[in-house]
Amino acid sequence: MPFLEAVRLALQTIRAQKLKSGFSAIGVFIGVTFLIGAWSIVNGMNRYMTDKFAGTLVGVNTFHLRRRPNVNFNVEDSVWRAWRRRPRIKFADADAVTQGLRMPVVTAWYSEDRGSVEYNGKVAKDITLEGATERYFDIMNLKIADGRAFTPQESKAGTTVVVLGYDLAQKLFPGVNPIGRTVRIHGIPYRVIGVVERQGNLLGISLDKFVVAPALSPIQREVNPPGVVDALIVKANSELEMRDAMDQTEAIMRSRRHLRPRQDDNFVMETSEGVLDFWKKLSRILYVVGPGLVGVALVVGGIVIMNIMLMAVAERTREIGIRKSLGARRRDILRQFLAESAALATVGATLGIGTGIALSLLLKVATPLPAAVSPFSILLGVVVGGGVGIVAGVYPASRASRLDPIAALRQE
């Protein structure tokens, strides 16, 4: 019997026994759904982490000189306490580093805290209040949608001007142009000079609820003690120059703080790579655990198919006898049953792929979790699904093919 004939026969049998076929395909279906779904989540997270998360928090070719890491996961109490005892980054530190670096870099001061912003009796709460110098916008790639950013003069003078995040502008000035109007932050008036382009969100948290004012303006009082910044942000032209800049910064800071050679740094230089380290550790675990779970599901699916096929062979013993009496060779019967189990598994896998894709699209739309279906996982789903079917079908099919035609024909 030619291959196509076997496949056609298999599909016929599946169509004739929809319920039973449905049950036997369900194992592979679940396995493949999970494979596609889990893979797309890990894949999406991966892309998200590398493209957006690290880039948004830290920036490309950029490092932040801070007292302690800003992005940290699962830190022990003792470490945390040690971090809190460290001296803060002072204006003078930031200036010394900026002047001491011998390669072309762009730097900005940065401090932040949470607070509320008021306009005309309307109050927006839980807004990120940011004090920064003028190059902050370039370094963090914040584009001005409307108006302008503050000038070096305004920055140096500590003028009470402010640039709004998109969401905040929408909230305080619905249908009104905010440029030129005055908002109040803890009672102090600031003139709105610009609105930043919409940034979207990061893991469900809006990135557009902030104000930026010059670091030397009265906003300093809201975000840090006098003379202190959260971070000095340094952006170099290349990764190589960034590494050099980090080495020089370390040297400058160590000498300013009179650290002995055996003492550890009491400050950190955070890069996007550092943020990614954590994610890499996590994704490595996911890449091991995910396939393991998928494997278990597929093995179960395979066993279900094998069982169903053994039942099918027992049930259709007479059919096998008839086929043999009409000239079917062992390999014809073998091929028929193999094709059937492979087709069952492939049908399950195909449905699984469809559901998996639908599931990850749903996740993408309904949750902040980024999901991206990888074409490789689809290919893998088909191959693995069909393979499970063939492997599970070998034993039942070979049993069928070895049936004695006389005994098989006698079966009721």
Partner 1 sequence: MTDVQAFRTGDTPLPDIVILTHKLTRDYDMGGEVVRALRGVSLQIRKNEYVAVMGPSGSGKSTLMNLIGCLDTPTAGEYWLNGQKVSALSDDELARIRNKEIGFVFQTFNLLPRANALHNVELPLIYAGLPTKDRRARAARALARVGLADRMDHRPNELSGGQRQRVAIARALVNEPSILLADEPTGNLDSTTSAELMQVFQDLHHQGQTIVMVTHEHDIAAHAARVVTLRDGLVATDQLRAA
The residue ranges that bind partner 1 (CB under 8 A) are: 1-2, 5, 12-13, 16, 318-319, 321-332, 405-406, 409
Q: Which is nearest to 37 in space by CA: 361, 406, 408? A: 361
Query: Mind giving me the DSSP string for 238-252?
Result: SHHHHHHHHHHHHHH
Please identify which residue in the block is written with the tokens 């093919």: 401
Nearer residue to partner 1 within complex by CB, 218 or 405: 405
Query: Least distance in Å: CB of 9 to partner 1?
Result: 9
Evaluate whether 306 touches 392 at the Cβ level (below 8 Å).
Answer: yes
Please identify which residue in the block is written with the tokens 């955070």: 270
Query: Least distance in Å: CB of 320 to partner 1?
Result: 11
Both tokens of 139, joined, read: 């370094």
Query: Least distance in Å: CB of 35 to partner 1?
Result: 33
- Please name the residues in contact with 42: beta carbons below 8 A apart, sequence gap of 6 or more: 283, 286, 287, 290
Nearer residue to partner 1 within complex by CB, 138 or 404: 404
Please identify which residue in the block is written with the tokens 């906003």: 219
Nearer residue to partner 1 within complex by CB, 239 or 315: 315
Query: Mind giving me the DSSP string for 11-36?
Result: HHHHHHTHHHHHHHHHHHHHHHHHHH
Both tokens of 370, joined, read: 């980024």
Terminal Cα distance for the chain, rounded: 26
The C-alpha angle 319, 323, 327, rounded to 5 degrees, equals 170
Both tokens of 158, joined, read: 């500590």
How far, in Å, CA of 119 to CA of 171, rounded?
10
Q: What are the phi and psi torsion angles at 140 (to 5°)?
A: -85, 5
Both tokens of 246, joined, read: 């980090």
Nearer residue to partner 1 within complex by CB, 7 or 96: 7
Both tokens of 294, joined, read: 């998928």
Nearer residue to partner 1 within complex by CB, 281 or 329: 329
Query: Least distance in Å: CB of 400 to partner 1?
Result: 14
Query: Least distance in Å: CB of 394 to partner 1?
Result: 19
SS3 of residue 147 by DSSP: strand
Query: Least distance in Å: CB of 318 to partner 1?
Result: 7
- Please name the residues in contact with 154: beta carbons below 8 A apart, sequence gap of 6 or more: 134, 161, 214
Query: Mind giving me the DSSP string for 242-279?
Result: HHHHHHHHHHHHHHHTT--TTSPPSSEEEEHHHHHHHH
Query: Least distance in Å: CB of 374 to partner 1?
Result: 39
Nearer residue to partner 1 within complex by CB, 277 or 332: 332
Nearer residue to partner 1 within complex by CB, 12 or 255: 12
Query: Least distance in Å: CB of 8 to partner 1?
Result: 9
Nearer residue to partner 1 within complex by CB, 16 or 288: 16
Beta bridge partners of 214: 132
Q: Which is nearest to 196 in space by CA: 155, 132, 154, 142? A: 142
Helix (H) or strand (E) holding 81: helix 77-85
Nearer residue to partner 1 within complex by CB, 106 or 409: 409
Query: Least distance in Å: CB of 310 to partner 1?
Result: 19
Nearer residue to partner 1 within complex by CB, 326 or 366: 326
Query: Least distance in Å: CB of 390 to partner 1?
Result: 22
Both tokens of 372, joined, read: 């991206």
Nearer residue to partner 1 within complex by CB, 338 or 357: 338
Query: Least distance in Å: CB of 386 to partner 1?
Result: 24
